[in-house]
Chains A and B, each alone.
Chain A
Amino acid sequence: GNSVTQMEGPVTLSEEAFLTINCTYTATGYPSLFWYVQYPGEGLQLLLKATKADDKGSNKGFEATYRKETTSFHLEKGSVQVSDSAVYFCALGSIQGAQKLVFGQGTRLTINP
């Protein structure tokens, strides 16, 4: 079945550091890929998405490229801020299952000033 594996946390970085959170997936067919973020005390928010191979999703300075050859969707940001501290979830959506999402285990990111 479909599955998502993400980089285990927690991850702690200093402000302005470069961020990479790895995500790989196993899926049949051609899923859509997502990154969700949960800020402290808030619900899950869609951060970015990509719906086909080689697509790049981007938002708030974050980027992720759908790599079919490596079955990956790594999240990157060139210069993180304290406000980026949150839990990040990689997810895939099955075309057959509409928006039934399969999530990774989440990565807690803490940015220190």
Chain B
Amino acid sequence: GIQVEQSPPDLILQEGANSTLRCNFSDSVNNLQWFHQNPWGQLINLFYIPSGTKQNGRLSATTVATERYSLLYISSSQTTDSGVYFCAVEATDSWGKLQFGAGTQVVVTP
């Protein structure tokens, strides 16, 4: 099946810093989503982005499907950005099945 690798596994940021999280995938995809899991365990959909670039406030994401990677940018980080960020993909030959990466644990310190 498709492999999804996220980097870095852990990230410690000072409030106000910028960061980039990466998601590499091993095969063609129909669907790519970024999620944030907050410290209380709730999973929130950040972006549905199988290709192109999207922005939502201080967060933006870019997927280059032909090169099989996606990037999530966090600008001017805040303590509320802490949590785990997951990338999930649906391979073109696995309709309906989202495969998650292992996540990037982000800690934003005051």
* Mutual binders A and B: no
Residue positions of B touching A, CB distance < 8 A: none
